[in-house]
Chains A and B, each alone.
Chain A
Amino acid sequence: MLHIINKSPLSNGALDSCLRVAESGEILLIEDAVYAATKGSALEGKMKEAMDKLKVLVLLPDLEARGLADRIIEGVATVDYGGFVDLVASNKNCQSWL
């Protein structure tokens, strides 16, 4: 399944909770959640660990808007809005975490 996160992992528990229960599938980071995909943040270790069991993707326009497109953690894939749509369509189900 596809998990969509849109809140900063440094001020909101949604990503933490998602990573705790999700055993497989894909996570798409959008809006303020894109900070989780950047090198050097406190989350980097946790994200790398998560990538052992989940595919992590980030919405590039949101990263670019925040000036962080050149700091993506290795192994995190980027998608544009079209790719976002493809992800939703190709997964059996999805959850937009609040």
Chain B
Amino acid sequence: MSDIKKFMFVNRKAPYGTIYALESLEVVLITAAFDQEVSLAFMDDGVYQLKKGQQTKGIETKNFSPTYRALEGYDIEKLYVEKESMEARGLSEGDLLVDVTVLGKKEIGELMDQQDVVLSF
């Protein structure tokens, strides 16, 4: 199979309040299993998905944040965070639980343009 496509998953929702963040991760892992070129973009409240130190015992919900650190093992190494969204939430790269590439709004938009498939969560 040589038909490799560029997939980008755009994550714009905070974790736990809705199921979107978790569902996005599931689809990301499925896509990677099919040997596609996968990247993740985090913007708006989606940046909160990557916040260090999530503790979910109190809400009796699975803490799926460690999964972002496991993505490397699935050859998913392209994680992009929109600078404007991160800064608007008082966060910096040091607050994030995984290494990311911080890009300005323009660069994120250009990256979207280059994809074969863009899925929004």
Residue B62 is within 8 A (CB to CB) of chain A in the complex:
no
CB–CB A95/B109 < 8 A = no
Residue B105 is within 8 A (CB to CB) of chain A in the complex:
yes
Q: Name A70-87 residues within 8 Å CB distance of B.
A: none
Say what secondary structure dominates the interface of chain B.
mixed
Q: Whole-angstrom distance between the alpha carbons of A94 and B115 in the complex?
A: 9
CB–CB B110/A98 < 8 A = no
Task: Give, as a whole number of angstroms, the nearest-CB distance from A22 to chain B.
Answer: 5
What A residues does B93 contact at CB under 8 A? Answer: none
Nearest chain-A residue to B8 (Cβ)? A95
Say what secondary structure dominates the interface of chain A.
loop
Q: Whole-angstrom distance between the alpha carbons of A98 and B14 in the complex?
A: 13
What A residues does B109 contact at CB under 8 A? Answer: 21-23
Q: Whole-angstrom distance between the alpha carbons of A82 and B84 in the complex?
A: 37
Nearest chain-A residue to B44 (Cβ)? A17
Q: Whole-angstrom distance between the alpha carbons of A92 and B117 in the complex?
A: 9
Q: List the interface of chain B (C-beta within 8 A of A).
A: 10, 12-13, 20, 43-44, 82, 84, 105-106, 108-110, 112-113, 115-121
Q: List the interface of chain A (C-beta within 8 A of B).
A: 1, 13-14, 17, 20-25, 92-98
**Beyond known contacts A13-B12, A17-B43, A95-B120: 5 more, CB 8 A cutoff:** A17-B12, A25-B113, A92-B116, A95-B10, A98-B121
